Structure 1
Amino acid sequence: MHRPLIKICGMTRMADVSLCTALGADLLGFIFHPASPRCADPEFVASVRTGRAVKVGVFVHQSADEVVEIMDRCGLHAAQLHGGQDMAFCEAVGPDRVIRTFWPETYTSPEAMVHHMENYAEVCGHFLLDAGGKGQGGTGRSIDFDSLQHIEIQTPWFLAGGIGPDNIDAALAVNPPGLDINSGVESQPGIKDESKLRAVFDRIDKVK
Structure 2
Amino acid sequence: MSTCGDVMLKVCGVTRQEDADAVRAIGASLIGFIFHPASRRNVTPEQVRAIETHRLMRVGVFVDQSPDEILRIMDKAGLHLAQLHGDQDAAFCKKVGRNRVMRAFWPERYPTREALETDLHRYEDCSRFFLFDAGASGGGHGRSFDASLLKGLCSLKTWFLAGGLGPHNICEAVCNCDPCGVDLSSGVEASPGIKDHAKLTALRSALDGLMRNPNQSCCGEL
Normalized against structure 1, the TM-score is what? 0.95
Give 1:205's aligned residue. Answer: 208
Deviation per residue, 1:52-90 (Å, 9 max, x gap): 110100000000000000001111000000011001110
Give 2:98's aligned residue. Answer: 95
What is the CA distance between 1:109 and its match in structure 2? Answer: 1.6
Give 2:18's aligned residue. Answer: 15
Query: How many residues matched?
Result: 207
State, as a whole percentage, how many aligned pairs show the same letter: 49
Query: What is the aligned counterpart of 1:106 among 109, 114, 117?
Result: 109
Q: 2:31, 2:56 within 8 Å by CA — same for their partners in 1?
A: yes
Please give the secondary structure, in 2, of the residue aligned with 1:206: helix
Give 1:79's aligned residue. Answer: 82
Deviation per residue, 1:21-74 (Å, 9 max, x gap): 111111000000000000012211011221111010000000000000000111
Please give the secondary structure, in 2, of the residue aligned with 1:128: strand
Instruction: Name the CA distance, whole Å, in 2 between partners of 1:110 and 1:182.
Output: 26
Normalized against structure 2, the TM-score is what? 0.90
RMSD: 1.4
Give 1:44's aligned residue. Answer: 47
Q: 2:17, 2:52 within 8 Å by CA — same for their partners in 1?
A: no
What is the CA distance between 1:107 and its match in structure 2? Answer: 0.2
Please give the secondary structure, in 2, of the residue aligned with 1:205: helix
Matched to 2:170, the amino acid is I
Give unpaired runs (5+ residues) of structure 1: none
Counterpart mapping for 1:119-138 below 5 A = 119-134=122-137, 136-138=138-140
What is the CA distance between 1:153 and its match in structure 2? Answer: 4.2
Instruction: Name the CA distance, whole Å, in 1 between partners of 2:142 and 2:49.
Output: 27
Instruction: Name the CA distance, whole Å, in 2 between partners of 1:152 and 1:115.
Output: 15
Counterpart mapping for 1:172-191 below 5 A = 172-173=174-175, 174-191=177-194
What is the CA distance between 1:207 and its match in structure 2? Answer: 3.2
